[in-house]
Structure 1
Amino acid sequence: MKLLLVVLATLLSGFIHGYDCKIVQFIFGDSLSDNGNNNRLTKSFAQAALPWYGIDFGSGIPNGRFTNGRTVADIIGDKTGVPRPPPFLDPSLSEDVILANGVNFASGGGGILNETGGLFIQRFSLYKQIELFNGVQRLIRGTIGDEKANKFFQEAKYVVALGSNDFINNYLMPVYADSWTYNDDTFISYLMETLRAQLMVLHGMGARQLMVFGLGPMGCIPLQRVLSTSGGCQEKTNTLALNFNKATAKLMDELSAKLPNASYQFGDAYDVVNNVITNPKKYGFDNADSPCCSFGRIRPALTCIPASRLCKDRSKYLFWDEYHPSDRANELIADELIRKLRFKPVNKTN
């Protein structure tokens, strides 16, 4: 009997908190990945707290996602068997929740640089998100010990998805010092130096399987179009995105070769989004240049609000609001990244 109890205790110890049987993900990002953090930053001007955000997600009540449905990270996780991590500021976050689901630190308006998005008052920059992750690590180490925690964090998946705000809500706005301190090339170099340091910190904290999302053709988002004289894409902004992607892809290759046991990948969906913009009908879209949720002829309205008008068919619009893709567009992007990076299902239960 005593032997049976010892065997059962040994078996059960591997399943306590789920750390030994489930791979989770930790997400670092901006509004494209935020799933509720900014809605709990009471002074933030970047929130998805009003209808019609979240209209196609669960109960249809705003949940902090800056779209009508799912984020790219949601969809990739769902299709590869990785649980959806709750936002860091979720009041129900606990050791058990973290061990079973990971954590999402993404924050609308956040950037690679600390100074990015300052006009939003409250947001988490990437350095702040890493600082919060450090606190999570201390919590988990205190719960399951260093050895098991090391295994847990090294087996986890990591997503870093920032950069667009560093351009749109920093470098391209003359109210920010970076806009006159740098030129296009030196600003991207500044971003890469900062991102390199941040990713090396994450590696030191156990991040081994990590993907950095690239930027899409951000010069073609509705906000950029409506601010142009012609209503067309801002080619300078698109060129910045392409150069950022090229530099980031190179950085991922360098870090994968340099850092022990690191598998750092670059997720590039620029081409597929650009193809939709060029030929929307081919991909089942009717509109690829204006937001589904808008305030009539008043442009830009910037955010979706209760008084906004919704398009007739949300699945036919590439963009949900002036900044962000629709659920359907996010699924297209997620499928492209899964295909390109050959993601395989994890957490199989046979």
Structure 2
Amino acid sequence: MATVQIVQEIIKFVRCFSFVTRLVDEFVSEIQVCDFIFLHDAFMARVKHGQRCILVDAVENAGEAERSMKLWRWLVLSYFFLAGDASKVPALFVFGDSTVDTGNLKQRSSLSLLMTNRLPYGRDFVPPGPTGRASNGKLSTDFLAEFLELPSPANGFEEQTSGIFRGRNFAAGGSGYLNGTGALFRTIPLSTQLDAFEKLVKSTAQSLGTKAASELLAKSLFVVSTGNNDMFDYIYNIRTRFDYDPESYNKLVLSKALPQLERLYTLGARKMVVLSVGPLGCTPAVLTLYDSTGECMRAVNDQVASFNSALKASLASLASKLPALHAMYGNAYDLLLDAVEQPSKYGFKYGNVACCGLGRFGGSSACSNLSNVCFSADEHVFWDLVHPTQEMYRLVSDSLVSGPPSMASPLNISQLIAF
């Protein structure tokens, strides 16, 4: 049988299995088969890799189920062998809180203060409608996925097999570095997010083999955006403020953050982006809480800035300790603070007034269908009482991708993915 006919038969066979249909449709055109040989009771395929032809398993004379899994593994491996130079980042993995949650919390809990599964949340999304994102539309990681020419990662706690090799989003609103943060709302702390990722790593290793899975993860990009709710817990929780002064509380959070970032490295992450906590003293919620006249609450921002400084230094120290780690600190704090204080500089009209909410700054209540909702969210830095608008998230993403060292340290994502 001619080589072309064999390839056609293999493709036809694999397409009988629905769980690989999408992957085959996307990648099979990229696979260049040199030829097939029969060796040790198995078909062997030599696949084009640069100027060479390498030998990979194709089909073994085994049961139908085993044979289908062999074909699955062969096609995926072939794609990554061939696309290594063309696709520097094969997958995007996301961890954190509501700044990057695309629906995980709403799947797991109905106790959240934010009704992100109802309009007006998601009103500017394409197509319009709530998605579980705490914004009027996209988040920074959605824009980042577009830059990487990847789909936005599927939610990591959904029961599905598609999209595994393109990344997953494990973030959950209300969570933090501390396990107790957001516990009242049954959120998913970072440690549990990492547990779920570890299961995914093991299943990926079973599908691809340990070496190929490790290579996939090493090329992938990992984003961690959390710590905001840990700081909010200090602001709102009287007992926490009684037990800790700002400095000791920051040290507590940092002591829990670093081991988890190191665990992510242990699980295979080599290109890691860790975002700062935002200027929480400027959020409509905090301005309302402290009955501000409009000025950001300095004491709150000072504590956050101190934590961010320690996080940045600790991340650099972690990278020096783990030579294979390329870690980037994303300074969302300064960008958001500047946008709040000088909104017109970024094309906004309102720096400290939420598009959706009640009260002077829109921070008296959570966004809902009973709230006052602005006509154009693009005129606002904040969408609701604590979360940015889609346009502000776009600016954050741009700063991570191509920003100077003051925004992305020691290098930005465009430079990071070159490694």
TM-score (structure 2 length as normaliser): 0.76
Q: Which runs of 5+ in 1 are unaligned?
A: none
**Pair 1:219 & 2:286 matched:** no
Question: The residue matched to 1:4 in structure 2 has which SS?
Answer: strand
**Pair 1:105 & 2:170 matched:** yes
Aligned match for 2:247, one of 180, 185, 188 = 185
**Shift of the alpha carbon at 1:141?**
1.3
Q: What is the rounded CA distance, in whole Å, between the counterparts of 1:311 and 1:18 in structure 2?
A: 47
**Shift of the alpha carbon at 1:77?**
2.2
Counterpart in the other structure of 2:138:
70
**Pair 1:28 & 2:105 matched:** no
Answer yes or no: is the 8 Å Cα contact 2:179–2:189 preserved in 1: yes
**Shift of the alpha carbon at 1:301?**
4.5
Question: The residue matched to 1:28 in structure 2 has which SS?
Answer: strand
Answer yes or no: is the 8 Å Cα contact 2:47–2:78 preserved in 1: no
Give the 5 Å matches for 1:1-350.
Answer: 4-6=35-37, 10-11=47-48, 13=74, 15-16=76-77, 19-20=80-81, 21=83, 22=87, 23-46=90-113, 47-91=115-159, 93-94=160-161, 96-99=162-165, 101-120=166-185, 122-168=186-232, 170-174=233-237, 177-231=239-293, 232-295=295-358, 300-338=363-401, 339-340=403-404, 341-344=411-414
Answer yes or no: is the 8 Å Cα contact 1:222–1:290 preserved in 2: yes
Counterpart in the other structure of 2:70:
none
Q: What is the rounded CA distance, in whole Å, between the counterparts of 2:254 and 2:75 in structure 1?
A: 40
Q: What is the rounded CA distance, in whole Å, between the counterparts of 2:365 and 2:197 in structure 1?
A: 31
**Shift of the alpha carbon at 1:298?**
9.9
Cα 1:17/1:98, change in 2 over 3 Å: farther
Letter in structure 2 aligned against 1:24: A
Farther-moved stretch of structure 1 (7-16 vs 33-42): 7-16
Q: What is the rounded CA distance, in whole Å, between the counterparts of 1:347 and 1:298 in structure 2?
A: 39
Answer yes or no: is the 8 Å Cα contact 1:296–1:308 preserved in 2: no
Q: Which runs of 5+ in 2 are unaligned?
A: 4-33, 38-43, 49-57, 59-73, 405-410
Letter in structure 2 aligned against 1:57: F
The structure having more radius of gyration, on CA atoms, is: 2
Question: The residue matched to 1:244 in structure 2 has which SS?
Answer: helix
Offset from partner CA, 1:122-174 (integer Å, 9 cap, x none): 11111011111111111111211111111111211111110110011x22223
Letter in structure 2 aligned against 1:28: F
Farther-moved stretch of structure 1 (20-29 vs 145-154): 20-29
Letter in structure 1 aligned against 2:242: W
Farther-moved stretch of structure 1 (43-52 vs 291-300): 291-300
Offset from partner CA, 1:163-193 (integer Å, 9 cap, x none): 110011x222235x53322211111111111
Question: The residue matched to 2:352 in structure 1 has which SS?
Answer: strand
Q: What is the rounded CA distance, in whole Å, between the counterparts of 1:18 and 1:173 in structure 2?
A: 50
**Shift of the alpha carbon at 1:105?**
0.4
Offset from partner CA, 1:291-339 (integer Å, 9 cap, x none): 1012466964432212222212211011000010001111111112222
Offset from partner CA, 1:67-88 (integer Å, 9 cap, x none): 0011111112212334321111
**Shift of the alpha carbon at 1:286?**
0.8
Q: What is the rounded CA distance, in whole Å, between the counterparts of 2:417 and 2:312 in structure 1?
A: 28
Answer yes or no: is the 8 Å Cα contact 2:288–2:364 preserved in 1: no
Q: What is the rounded CA distance, in whole Å, between the counterparts of 1:297 and 1:218 in structure 2?
A: 17
Question: The residue matched to 2:236 in structure 1 has which SS?
Answer: coil
TM-score (structure 1 length as normaliser): 0.90
Cα 1:178/1:45, change in 2 over 3 Å: same
Q: What is the rounded CA distance, in whole Å, between the counterparts of 1:262 and 1:234 in structure 2?
A: 36
**Shift of the alpha carbon at 1:56?**
0.9
Cα 1:347/1:82, change in 2 over 3 Å: farther
**Shift of the alpha carbon at 1:9?**
5.5
**Shift of the alpha carbon at 1:17?**
8.6
Cα 1:4/1:313, change in 2 over 3 Å: same
What percentage of aligned pairs have identical amino acids?
27
Q: What is the rounded CA distance, in whole Å, between the counterparts of 1:17 and 1:58 in structure 2?
A: 33
